[in-house]
Structure 1
Amino acid sequence: MWRKASVAALLALAVGYLYHGCPELPEQLLQYISPDGLRSSPQSQCHLEQVISDAWDSLITLPTRQWSRVAVGVNACVDVVVSGVGLLQALALDPGSGRDHEVLRSKEDLRETFVHYMERGAAAERFFSDKEVFQRIARAAAEYPGAKLYVGGNAALIGQKLATYPELMVLLCGPVGPKLHEMLDEQIVVPPGSLQEMDEYHLILEYKAGEQWGSTRAPQANRFIFSHDVSNGVMSLLETFVASLDEFQPDLVVLSGLHMMEGQGRQLWEERLKEAVAAISDIRKDIPIHLELASMTDRDYMNSIMQEVMPIVSSIGLNEQELLFLSQAGGGPHAHLAAWKGVPDVGQVSDILLWILEHHGRADPSSEADLTRVHFHTLAYHVLATVDGHWANQGAAVMAGARVASSQACGTRAVDPTKVELKVPLRFHTSDSEPRVELTLDPAAPLTAWRRGNVTFHMTPVLVCKQPLRTVGLGDAISAEGLVYSEFKSQPGF
């Protein structure tokens, strides 16, 4: 007990010395840190959130060599964002027990799957197989009071985020209908082959932290996404996207939408995945490719992506659900876990990230795989794992991703310390097995780094928005921002 108190006191003194703008901080930190390393919430004008936010602003710097042209594809749509509970009530559905469905075939499947994820506070995305029923639900959603229309689809959202940097030219390839084209940033170039007569619509059912429906109570704010999206479902614009790269000449390619094929059935995705691999392989080897993953449920499909696609991309972005499911599909570390309990353990996350880079990336010196970077994000913290010698400025990249998560969730231009809170443990381990090193987060320098073999890990906390305005697209914004601040090192022989 004495030792734990001493650690907290030493940390408080260290932060006090490092952060001069807050003279009361050492005493305050003793109140913030409990013996188990978790932070409580005393009312104070001078708190950890302010310290971390100020530190980010001083530590985050752009890389020496920046991207000038980024090509993004291939899933794009219009998002209809609506209250999940409100819409289901408007559809005359009653609350009840939850049950996960890999594919939604009815309104009852929708209700059960929504409840299943709402009670866990987890994000998920599903395909709705019945076109007519989906169109009726979509009309009800669009007419629901307070429903809002936004740019949707991982590729379009990443493109929109990248377009906020005036020096970047962004190409977006995907099924772009009239409404989506109208909503896109003027800076985004859309190849003629991407334009189509009708928009694809995705329904985003949001819920707030603590929101209740029947006996179900959401532990945190999140959203459930579903659609009957055929164009994105078969990645119909992938070949158009790859063909457009010769003329556009990008420095970086960002690819997303593979998860959309899962709902089309095994025969289709097996054939289409082979075609996708062939198309991706046609991209020039000196151009790094980032793959953005999303929610999936078919272990065979995830394993196929891991075996066939991951080795031919340079970087991937994913959240805690996708990380654990990837490990379960491939028999990786901690695959026995049914789900994360609370904040995902940093050591267990680190184990899986290392396994990905060793088994499907370049961390194995004998491997010819291209994968050298994994950007992991969860509600409370982010980790960037990179194989040494391939990427630069990754500390700034992971902090920039966390900063944009904090500001975008709250709908503010910059982080507002009064609207966010720290939820990550201040002490954690670098692995769940040996060598198991304990590290301490320093709020005045909120970037913790460690190495395992030839892989370097950069970890930073997230200042979690207390009352998020919109959760959709946060992962895409995080990955996009992290890429903006990343520098790729071309390898000899390219």
Structure 2
Amino acid sequence: MWKKALCVAVLALAVGYIYHFDAGLPGAAVDYLSESLRDLRGTTSVEQRLAAAWDAVIVPPVKQWTKVAVGVNACVDVVLSGVKLLQALGLNPGDGRDHEVLRSRADLKEAFVHFMEKGAAAERFFSDKEAFQAIARAASEYPGAQIYVGGNAALIGQKLASNPNLTVLLCGPIGPKLHELLDEQIAVPPESLQEVDEFHLILEFKAGEEWGRSRAPSASRFIFSHDVSNGAMNMLEVFVASLEEFQPDLVVLSGLHMMEGQSPETRESRLREAAASISDIPSDIPVHLELASMVDRDLMNNIMHQQVFPLLNSLGLNEQELLFLTQSSSGPHSSLASWNGIPDVGVVSDIIYWILQENGRTEDGRGSDLTRVHFHTLTYHVLATVDGYWANQVAAVAAGARVAATQACATEDIDMSRVVLKAPMEFTTSGSDDHVTKISFNPLEPVSLWKRGTVTFHYTPVLICKDPVRTVGLGDAISAQGLLFSEMAQQ
């Protein structure tokens, strides 16, 4: 048995070497090693074969990041069952309805039910400060409520800090409780420290959970807050100013969605200021933006076309954000009201390609520096890059998918008894009549690749945790892990 395991390990390393160091080697070499892995598959499950194949291709980049600066939204998360909190607040089940801004407990209940029935994640601003504080007290005192590091930037920083060879700078509104919770390896500029923490309430629901007539098709969470510091992105200028001394290899930004709680006039002015600050980041430092749930189409459209996207190198987002982005800008498939179950791979690919064509490098080399989009949904991931700008992306997308399984189940390694594969095994690469290729997924070849113009797409399934311990921050962990295995190609 040990001899067979050793052979698998050696072959895995060989395949990883070929994927990483010379994608141009003769196809026969890759085919030979892939065939050898197939011969050793035995009677293992499809999930086990996929996990073993990931191990074969997840190899570190030649040039790894040494210093990463992350900003600018950070908070303390209070995590608990959404249904139990609403019951504790004296609310009864009823019909769901989305609200762009929450103004009352009734709005909170309706919005929670709306997204619970969809099995989708969402985030909303609660406008009434006193009402929010009362709900926050009830949540933090509820038996079983858990307190964690929160905010996309802080969560990404925490994940990056798990790499002992990486120095991480985190800038955001960091109060005493959050500072206590942060990894010791994370450096915090003194200007980021404040006397009071910002709290976000995360109402989780499980797959199949019921409340009244409502039933959740999949596990996810509903987030809400009355967050003034993050909403104004107060720490953005402090963050950019700190880069000169820190000298990072990579900048990761998040928190733009928090501006939705402001008036349209204030938000528009602040977005212009934010774009001006981001443009001050030296052009030789790649910038990644992590999007989050939004409801204001004007804000999203301004971020994409007028303000931020032209300043980026990389973008991370999920299915809700991808669809809202194309709806806001009348992009491909913008008439689609919502995803019907698992997002169609071809439709996702069309929208990603449009994003890169609108805001990235065109085939003749013109345009901005946006050359990478990392899309993640529950069942699969797609990482698309403009050719010539990024390396090691096979490893990056596989590493992101692997961490989704371990983080959701709160295990160091994938526990095969707790994961299941639900990704489409056959799909087309476009939702339109053009550029369509049909792909049949083979778990022994864990990353499927296809090209469209100068854009290469990388697809891999996710091993879904059947009993997730915590869903908050999963997208942030996925993007962070994908970035850890990425490198900018030499121009």
TM-score when normalising by structure 1: 0.91
Q: Does 1:352 align with 2:376?
A: no
Q: Which amino acid aligns with 1:23?
A: G
Distance 2:192 2:367 in 1: 33
Spell out, residue by residue over 1:98-123, the C-alpha distance to the aligned partner (whole angstroms, 9 max, x if none): 00000000000000000000000000
Q: Does residue 453 in structure 1 map to residue 445 in structure 2?
A: no
Q: For this pair of structures, how many residues does the alignment match? A: 457
SS at match of 1:435: coil
Number of the residue aligned with 1:85: 83
Paired with 1:457 and 1:278, the residues of 2 have a C-alpha distance of 31
Note if contact 2:435-2:452 (Cα within 8 Å) is conserved in structure 1.
no
* Distance (whole Å) between structure 1 residues aligned to residue 36 and residue 342 of structure 2: 30
- State the match for 1:424 in structure 2: 423
| 1:110 aligned residue | 108
Q: Could you say what secondary structure the match of 2:439 adopts?
A: strand
1:319 aligns with 2:318: yes
- Aligned twin of 2:145: 147
1:454-469 equivalent positions in 2, closer than 5 A: 454-469=454-469
* Local SS of the residue matching 2:368: coil
Q: For the residues of structure 2 that align with 1:166 and 1:366, how far apart are their CA atoms?
A: 37
Matched, 1:384 2:383: yes
Structure 2 CA distance for aligned equivalents of residues 161 and 490 of structure 1: 26
Residue 18 (structure 1) aligns with = 37
| Residue equivalent to 2:161 | 163
Q: CA offset at residue 360 of structure 1?
A: 1.2
Distance 2:142 2:487 in 1: 44
**Aligned equivalents of 2:375 and 2:97: distance in 1?**
27
Q: CA deviation at 1:432?
A: 1.4
Partner of residue 3, structure 1: none
Tell me the CA shift for residue 268 of structure 1: 1.1
Conserved in 2, the CA contact under 8 Å of 1:319 and 1:378?
yes
1:290-341: per-residue Cα shift (whole Å, max 9, x none)?
A: 0000000111110000012011110000000000110011111110100011
- Which string of whole-angstrom CA distances, capped at 9 and with x for unpartnered residues, describes residues 328-357 of structure 1? 111111101000111111111000000000
Would the alpha carbon gap of residues 123 and 130 (structure 1) be closer, same or farther in structure 2, given more than 3 Å must change?
same
Superposed CA offset, 1:387-420 (max 9, x none)? 0110000010000000000110011001111110
Once the two structures are TM-superposed, the CA of residue 367 in structure 1 deviates from its matched residue by 3.0
Q: Residue 223 of structure 1: SS of its match in structure 2?
A: strand
Tell me the amino acid that sits aligned with residue 475 of structure 2: G
Q: Could you tell me whether the CA contact under 8 Å between 2:374 and 2:479 is conserved in 1?
A: yes
Kindly indicate whether the alpha-carbon contact (under 8 Å) linking 2:359 and 2:367 is maintained by their aligned counterparts in 1: no
Residue identity in the other structure for 1:232: N
Q: Following superposition of structure 1 onto structure 2, how do residues 235-314 of structure 1 map, counting pairs within 5 Å?
A: 235-307=233-305, 308-314=307-313
Which one of the candidate residues 117, 132, 146 is aligned to 1:119? 117
Q: What is the letter of the counterpart of residue 469 of structure 1?
A: V
The separation in 2 between residues aligned to 1:430 and 1:359, in whole angstroms, is: 19
- Offset, 1:21: 3.9
**What is the CA–CA distance in structure 2 between the aligned matches of 1:58 and 1:368, rounded to whole Å?**
36
For residue 182 of structure 1, the aligned residue among 166, 180, 183 is: 180
Secondary structure (helix, strand or coil) at the match of 1:273 reads: helix
1:336 alignment counterpart: 335
Aligned AA (1:117): F
Superposed CA offset, 1:134-187 (max 9, x none): 000000000111000000000000000000000000000000000000000000
Could you tell which deviates more after superposition, 124-133 or 481-490? 481-490
1:482 maps onto 2:482 in alignment: yes
The one-letter amino acid of 1:322's match is E
1:394–1:485 contact (8 Å) kept in structure 2:
yes
Query: Which residue of structure 2 aligns with residue 415 of structure 1?
Result: 414
> In angstroms, what is the RMSD of aligned CA positions?
1.2
Q: Are the equivalent residues in 2 in contact too, given 1:128–1:226 (CA < 8 A)?
A: yes
Q: Distance in 2 between matches of 1:19 and 1:452?
A: 29
Q: Is the 8 A contact 1:95 1:213 kept in 2?
A: yes
Q: Distance in 1 between matches of 2:487 and 2:472?
A: 27
Distance in 2 (alpha carbons) for counterparts of 1:58 and 1:419 = 22
1:125/1:225 contact within 8 Å kept: yes
3-state secondary structure, aligned to 2:91: coil
Moved more, 388-397 or 435-444: 435-444
For the 8 Å contact 1:16–1:22, the answer to whether it is kept is no
Distance in 2 between residues matched to 1:363 and 1:374, nearest whole Å = 15
User: What amino acid sits opposite 1:116 in the alignment?
Assistant: H
Query: 1:18 Cα deviation (Å)?
Result: 3.3
Match of 1:471 in 2: 471
* Alpha-carbon distance between aligned partners in 2 of 1:250 and 1:16, rounded to the nearest angstrom: 42
How far 1:265 moved relative to its partner?
2.0
Q: Is the 8 A contact 2:363 2:453 kept in 1?
A: no
Question: SS in structure 2 opposite 1:119?
Answer: helix
2:448 aligned partner, one-letter code: T
SS at match of 2:334: coil
Instruction: List per-residue Cα deviations over 1:165-222 (Å, max 9, x = no partner).
Output: 0000000000000000000000000000000000000000001000000000000000
Separation in 2 of the partners of 1:295 and 1:205? 15
Question: Aligned AA for 1:343?
Answer: I
Q: Confirm or deny: 8 A CA contact 1:103 1:127 kept in the other structure.
A: yes
Offset of residue 16 of structure 1? 8.3
For 2:279 and 2:70, locate their aligned partners in 1 and report how far apart those are by CA, in whole Å: 16
Question: For 1:440-469, what per-residue CA distance to the aligned partner results, in whole angstroms no more than 9, with x for missing partners?
Answer: 111011100000000000000000010100
Amino acid across the alignment from 1:390: Y
Residues in 1 aligned to 2:322 and 2:364: alpha-carbon distance in whole angstroms: 23
Contact 2:372/2:384 (8 A) holds in 1: yes
2 CA distance for matches of 1:67 and 1:395? 17
Instruction: Write out per-residue CA displacement over residues 14-33 of structure 1, whole angstroms, 9 at most, x where no aligned residue.
Output: 99863344323xxxxxxxxx
